[in-house]
Structure 1
Amino acid sequence: MNNLNFGLTIPAILMVLLVLIVSSLFPELSQTMAGNAMTFVTTWFGWLVQLGSLALVFFLFWLACSKYGTIRLGDDKPEYSNFSYGGMIFTAGVGASLIYWGIGEPMYDLQSPPLFASANSYAAAAWSVTYSMFHWGITGWAIYCFPAIPFSYAFYIQKKRTLKLSTLCEPVLGKHPLVAKSIDLIAIFGTLAAFASSLALTVSLLSSGVSELFAVENNLLLQGSIILLFVVVLFAVMLLGFNKGINRISDYTVVAAISFALLVLFATNTPFILNNVTDSLGVMLDNFFRMSLWTDPVQRSGFPQSWTQYYWFWYYAYLIMMGLFITRISRGRTIREVILYTIFMGSFGCAFFISIFGGYAVWAQLFGGYPVQTWMSEGGLSFAVVSLIQTLPAKNITLTVFLIIEFFLMLTTMSSASVATAMLTTNQLSLNGDPDNRVKLLWAGAIALISFSVFLCGGGIDTIKSLCVVAGLPMMFVYAILAKQLIKQLSGDPLQEKNTEESFEYQQVTP
């Protein structure tokens, strides 16, 4: 534990806990202030995050196709198979939230549709799955992917053994201790807050399912027990090591999730789902730039601010976790591979699950006779998701399998978050980039504690979600700094040509 940076660890945890305590003591005031802060950010900078995020997509594709794309990150062969590599990126980025929102977001879009459609109309139905795939698609995965490039370059090419975000920004910003500390703390705060709220949503879903299965009260004790189970299982995973633990669980979870999705596809109205996803892909391809830049300045429906801009800022707040985790598993990969695998594996995986679960939810609401929107309004989204899963054959067995898959999807994300925050707060990383298990377990415990505090604080989740958006704003500007510094390093590094040539030689001899 001597290798742990307590100067970052303790203040970051205290910041999140302080927010939760204040939101518990003054729930209405804190939610109002956080909501006002979020409104200010989206009103004044929402257009910028949409323009900047679209520009980031073009930048990454340019980087992947340029001569810099062939630079190999490290001297070794890729550590993981293509399936394991893509699976770990996917599970780290989506967790259990994908199916949760894959069902929930199309229902919200039906009720309050985008681009001037009428509520619960056929036009709204056409946009519902389309917008869900868009929000979990190329742009979001580009935001996730980008920080992995400068982090990986610093670690594997420049051989830096500390990966604080401020260190990467230092050549542009200069050495200012207060600025550096602020950048690192905001980055950790965003990661902790974003992940803790995601974990809290997952625990809410799992507790609703367990309550339905075993006819027990869905209370704080049940929710706390589920969080404790996460920590215990994660402890066992950490003892197995990264390759035998996170890697194996990620592989098995991805296979199980795909199998379950196929079960839903063929056990429900398969023709509708397949036709709906085809139509949704067409609508998205036809309107990608319109959706990317739509700010709705005239009608002011609030849709771009509440959904698109919210997602993009949320992804920026998550940058440390995804950037560092992708760095950990990318040794031996080229920059091109990191970019293309992250963007396309992530986008394709999300589209696959959203098209099936979201498509079934739309069919169930419009044609199947299942009141999904009523379930949402009366019992909340977690209750609606559980109720929809129970419409499938062998409902109790199906729900049990679903809850197990959701548990392990979130476990892999929790493992990734523990690894990433441990990497950020480790003074000197080992050559394989894997932090000390005790540090990872410390962060796993901290994340679990913060998540449980969300339930203790009642409305704290709304406050902390709003603050995630606020935390994402400065991270957007950090991206610009990292992009400038990365281009400067790639174009001026004398090792660049050597790395490119070695990568070419490696490709020639590798079958």
Structure 2
Amino acid sequence: MKNLNYGLALPAIVLVLALLVISSTYPEQSQAMANGAMAFVTTWFGWIVELGSLALVGFLFWLAFSRYGDIQLGEEKPEYSNFSYGGMIFTAGVGASLIYWGIGEPMYYLQSPPLFAEPNSYSAAAWSVTYSIFHWGITGWAIYCFPAIPFAYAFYVQKKRTLKLSTLCASIVGEHPIVAKTIDLLAIFGTLAAFASSLALTVTLLSAGASELLGIENGLLLQGSIILLFVIALLCVMLVGFNQGISKVSDYTVTIAIGFALFVLFSSNSQFILNNFTDSIGVMLDNFFRMSLWTDPVQQSGFPQGWTQYYWFWYYAYLIMMGLFITRISRGRTIREVILYAISMGSLGCTFFISIFGGYAVWAQLIGGFPVQEWMTDGGLTFAVVSLIKTLPAKSAILALFLVIQFFLMLTTMSSASVATAMLTTNELALNGDPDNKVRLLWAGAIALISFSVFLCGGGINTIKSLCVVAGMPMMFIYAILVRHLLLELGAVKSPSNQSEAPELQEATFIQNL
């Protein structure tokens, strides 16, 4: 495969596999080291990630409504309908984790609430769904969205045929080969590690549900069979092609998932869920900036470090996958459309599902008489999620439908990750942004290998999750580099007469003209 950059692909795969093996061989030592590194990152850089992420939200909205928002990314018409476009962004970003954590997070927040509330109190209940919506809302989707703008601008406007992250950073940090390779390997590692963690969670949930539904043993054989099913489905999607594969799977999955959520809403206590949703939105709007910048320096409960900052660093680690995937599907759209669709469709979609499933979990625990927190204590969150789904009417059929939706949500994320890593490691992309089929299939196989290794290596995934968050810290600073790079490039577009000037002078002229 002449078009594959082996110098990036192979070291990244080997690094993830090596970390899995080492962390499973020395589980206590590796987990302690990873936890210490994560604690260091959140302690010393947590305040920066909160300030920087909030600033990024403001920057993107400014960019969308400035004159630069009208810049079209390519001369063609948009390739996908608005529904398909928003659906692909949504499913690629949330995977199967949304409903899982949409149920789990409110339960954790009831037990260990934020902002000095008493456990299982009215205040804790008011914060439970609110904080879940916040963590899956505007800020997270802004972090996901931003890299797509410089990537898409470089590919569709400047006609660059390679989309390595180091290529965009070169205008600021230079073209030193060691620095460039470090940036690219860090980006691929973040994508693979974050994806491996998400897949491990999904397979664990699917195996628990299938075991409950079919009465079979929940073990390595069942988990391996589910991963094999993922691999076969992924190969089919890759061979069918992007438009008939990922796009169609995303459309059907979103449609069925919405229908399933509406069934949960109207077959449970819809009055409570709708009122709780309204109250949660009000609480979040009233406290958005407080929640965005809360570091808890006096009480030191650890809540912002363990939840908000953890989420933000995780999103930064995942940036390349989402940035490149959004780039691939954004040809013909304006910068304004990319920003507003990504942030609105992503955050509104998450709000919709969390409000229903999180609201149902809160009702079940506090009013409905279902011991959701006891289920979590006895069997873990996966057991609690499966048990809660079984409280709905036609429990076996609904559980089966729930598992099918989870499978296809994860398949869409898996497909997106393989496309993104293939784009990142392709030496020269085609005009439509599609990597070679051989490169995509190679990454599908690599992702399958990592997926199998996650379960063969047992507890190594916890170390990978911690290191993934740690990897998000340098990626946060790379965001700052990308912002500066984008400002320089957009300034050059609007001031052609200044293109021969030094980059510093171009940027100064651009800022003066705002």
TM-score, length-scaled by structure 1: 0.96
CA distance in 2, matches of 1:127, 1:206: 29
What is the match of residue 304 of structure 1? 304
Aligned AA (2:182) = S
Who is 1:508 aligned against? none
1:232 match: 232
Counterpart code for 1:243: N
* TM-fit CA distance, 1:445: 2.0
Q: Which residue of 2 aligns with 1:501?
A: none
Per the TM alignment, residue 441 of structure 1 is displaced from its structure 2 partner at its CA by 1.9
Q: Are positions 1:12 and 2:12 aligned together?
A: yes
Structure 1 match to 2:436: 436
Q: Map of 1:177-256 to 2, 5 A cutoff?
A: 177-256=177-256
Structure 1 contact 151–163 (Cα < 8 Å) conserved? yes
Moved more, 70-79 or 237-246: 237-246
One-letter code aligned to 1:316: Y
SS of the residue aligned with 1:14?
helix
Determine the structure 1 residue equivalent to 2:507.
Answer: none
Which residue does the alignment assign to 2:76? Answer: 76
Displacement after TM superposition at 1:451 (Å): 2.2
User: 1:34-78 CA deviation, whole Å, 9 max, x = no partner?
Assistant: 000000000000000000000000000000000000000000000
Deviation at 1:448, TM superposition (A): 2.2
Asked if 1:405 corresponds to 2:381, the answer is no
Q: Deviations over 1:170-195 (max 9, x none)?
A: 01001110010000001100000001
Cα drift, residue 496 of structure 1: 7.7
After superposition, where does 1:342-353 map in structure 2 within 5 Å?
342-353=342-353
On the 8 A contact 1:72/1:333 being kept in 2, the answer is yes
SS at match of 2:300: coil
**Superposition pairs of residues 29-48 of structure 1, within 5 angstroms:** 29-48=29-48
- Equivalences for 1:371-410 in 2 at 5 Å? 371-410=371-410
- The CA deviation at 1:340 is 0.1
For 1:117 and 1:462, locate their aligned partners in 2 and report how far apart those are by CA, in whole Å: 29
Residue 287 (structure 2) aligns with: 287
| CA gap 1:242/1:282 in 2 versus in 1, 3 angstroms | same
1:291-370 alignment, distance < 5 Å: 291-370=291-370
1:287 is paired with a residue whose SS is helix
Check the 8 A contact 1:138/1:347 in 2, yes or no.
yes
Instruction: Confirm or deny: 8 A CA contact 1:490 1:496 kept in the other structure.
Output: no
Residues 119-161 of structure 1, C-alpha deviation per residue, up to 9 Å, x if partnerless?
A: 1111101000000000000000000000000000000011000
- Work out the percentage of aligned pairs sharing the same amino acid: 78
* Cα-Cα RMSD: 1.0
- CA shift, 1:438, in A, is 2.0
CA distances 1:292-321 after superposition (whole Å, capped 9, x unpaired): 000000000000000000000000000000
CA distance in 2, matches of 1:189, 1:271: 45
- 1:495 deviation in Å? 8.1
User: How far does residue 447 in structure 1 lie from its aligned partner after superposition?
Assistant: 1.6
Aligned partner of 2:451 in structure 1 is 451
Equivalent in the alignment of 1:415: 415
Look up the match of 2:505: none
- The one-letter code matched in structure 2 to 1:206 is L
- Unpaired runs of at least 5, structure 1: 498-511
Secondary structure (helix, strand or coil) at the match of 1:244 reads: coil
Matches within 5 A, 1:93-242: 93-242=93-242
CA distance in 2, matches of 1:383, 1:437: 39
Distance between the aligned counterparts of 1:293 and 1:455, measured in 2?
37
What amino acid maps onto 1:298 in structure 2?
V
Distance in 1 between the 2:26 and 2:263 partners?
46
Alpha carbons 1:49, 1:476 under 8 Å: kept = yes
Deviation at 1:494, TM superposition (A): 5.5
1:505 corresponds in structure 2 to none
Residue aligning to 2:90:
90
1:61 aligns with 2:61: yes
Cα offsets for 1:454-482 (capped at 9, x unmatched): 22222212101100111000100000000
Task: Give the whole-Å Cα distance in 2 for the aligned partners of 1:494 and 1:46.
Answer: 36
Q: Secondary structure at the match of 2:244?
A: helix
What amino acid sits opposite 1:335 in the alignment? I
Question: CA separation in 1, counterparts of 2:4 and 2:284?
Answer: 45
Supply the AA of the counterpart residue of 2:317. Answer: A
Query: 2:258 corresponds to which residue?
Result: 258
Deviation (angstroms), 1:493: 2.5
CA distance in 1 between partners of 2:42 and 2:496 (Å): 39
Q: Which residue of 2 aligns with 1:491?
A: 491
Aligned partner of 2:384: which letter? Answer: A
How far the C-alpha of 1:452 sits from its partner, in A, is 2.2
In the TM superposition, what whole-angstrom CA distance separates every residue of 1:401-453 from its partner, at most 9, and x where no partner exists? 01001100100010000100000000000000011122112212212221222
After superposition, the Cα gap between the structure-2 partners of 1:441 and 1:496, relative to the gap in structure 1 and judged at 3 Å, is farther
2:502 maps to which residue? none
Structure-1 separation of matches of 2:248 and 2:84 = 8
Specify whether residues 42 and 442 from structure 1 end up closer, same or farther in structure 2 by C-alpha distance, changes over 3 A only: same
Alignment check: 8 A CA contact 1:8 1:184 kept: yes
Q: Decide whether the 8 Å contact of 1:372 with 1:384 is kept in 2.
A: yes
What amino acid is the match of 2:318? Y
Match of 1:503 in 2: none
Q: Structure 1 segments of 4 or more deviating over 3 A?
A: 494-497
How many residues are aligned here? 497
Which amino acid counterpart does residue 109 of structure 1 have in structure 2? Y
Task: Supply the distance in 2 between the matched residues of 1:298 and 1:457 (Cα, whole angstroms).
Answer: 40
How many angstroms apart in 1 are the aligned matches of 2:357 and 2:441? 34
Contact 1:71 1:496 in 2 (8 A): no
Judge conservation of contact 1:200–1:452 (CA < 8 Å) in 2.
no
SS of 2:285 mapped into structure 1: helix
Kindly provide the amino acid, as one letter, of the partner of residue 277 in structure 2.
V
Could you list the per-position Cα deviations for residues 194-244 of structure 1 after superposition, in whole angstroms to 9, with x for gaps in the alignment? Answer: 011001100000000000011111101110110110010111111111101
Question: Structure 2-normalised TM-score?
Answer: 0.96
Kindly provide the amino acid, as one letter, of the partner of residue 6 in structure 1. Y
Write the distance in 2 (CA, Å) between the matches of 1:2 and 1:9. 13
Letter in 2 for 1:238: M
Instruction: For 2:80, give the aligned amino acid.
Output: Y
Deviations along 1:349-368, one digit per CA (max 9) or x if unpaired, are 00000000000000001111
Give, in angstroms, the shift of residue 27 of structure 1: 0.2
Residue type at the aligned position of 1:228: L
> Which residue identity does 1:37 align to in structure 2?
A
| Cα distance in 1 for residues equivalent to 2:447 and 2:128 | 33
Tell me if the contact between 1:113 and 1:127 (Cα under 8 Å) persists in the aligned partners.
yes
C-alpha displacement at 1:332, in angstroms? 0.2
One-letter code aligned to 1:71: I
Unaligned runs of 5+ in 2: 498-514
